[in-house]
Amino acid sequence: MTGRIVYVERKPSWFKDISNRLNEESTWVDKLIARFVLYRHYGIMIDNNEIIHFYCPSILKLNLGVISQVPLSEFLKAGGEIEIDEVIDVKFTRDEIIERAKVLVGSDFDGYHLTKNNCEHFAVWCGTDQRKMSQQASVTTYRNIYSASSALKRKIISALV
């Protein structure tokens, strides 16, 4: 799997313990996502024990997005199994994909954005030189929760001003 675009499918936790999907930056929106949203988290497999991925510790703190190289166990900490994305038609060799990912470790990849610049955009860029996303929005996706939380955040701010 080295040099491949991989993902882990994050399934809704509903009423199960979600502590393994949270961190010190998590907000109430992150807790909603962990409970109700199905999505794929993408990365580049460096070797059998490490992944490079684009990660944002909280959906309300997008300025904290960063590309990092982590142990496979950390990438999988919320459960799931690694799967190879066979649909993406890569134009680089596996070694080139790894090199492209490694060069960006520590960067913010022009800032995290839920639908315009996320982990899938990063992984696809490493393999194709294009920022694309194939995941579609539905009733229980990031886009809907993000829109709702953004609207709520604006109302709270306007009420305080």
Q: What angle do CA 88, 143, 85 make, to 5 degrees?
A: 15
Angle between helices 142-160 and 28-36 (to 10 degrees): 160
Which tokens is 61 given? 């703190």
Distance between CA 22 and CA 46 in Å, rounded?
24
Q: What are the DSSP E strand ranges found in 32-154?
A: 39-47, 50-55, 66-71, 82-84
Place of tokens 């305080």: 160
- Bridge partners (DSSP) listed for residue 68: 53
d(CA 39, CA 136): 9
Per-residue pLDDT tens over the stretch 22-81: 889 999 888 888 888 888 999 999 997 999 999 998 888 888 999 999 999 999 987 788
Asked whether the whole model's pTM tops 0.75, one would answer: yes
